[in-house]
Structure 1
């Protein structure tokens, strides 16, 4: 770049769909579930032979009201695409 020239950068809108994502890609999701409420529902779904996608991992907690925000942030730091908290 020569002195006095400005660098022009094109802004990319976050709403535009990226073209480099494969068609068969699925998000890696972790679900924090309360033992007495949401996990009981997930367990009942298993008893009824219902299934959920393999890319969803369920973590049972005594109570999601005591879920520390650092666990949610740490999940994103370790590469999780989405976090679901159900209580």
Structure 2
């Protein structure tokens, strides 16, 4: 996703350059390539914004590369910011 969660009922997002985009379009824009091509994708937690909302990173794998993608995602989670959180907090992020 190009942004963290928006307020419930919010219909548009205004980017730093003044561009206005529908929330659904903003959320789908970066996930659509994997959906259209059929490439495996995975989202892993990478931290939090200043409001405490989770930030994720989308990983794309090669065709039939699910096992590679899962290994990379697992390594990211073991070494990334979520690794240092208490187990209950970490479980809530995943």
Q: Assess same fold via TM > 0.5.
A: no
The structure with the largest alpha-carbon Rg is 1
Higher RCO, 1 vs 2 (CA within 8 Å, ≥6 residues apart):
1
| Alignment TM-score, normalising by the size of structure 1 | 0.25
Tell me the TM-score normalised to structure 2 length: 0.24
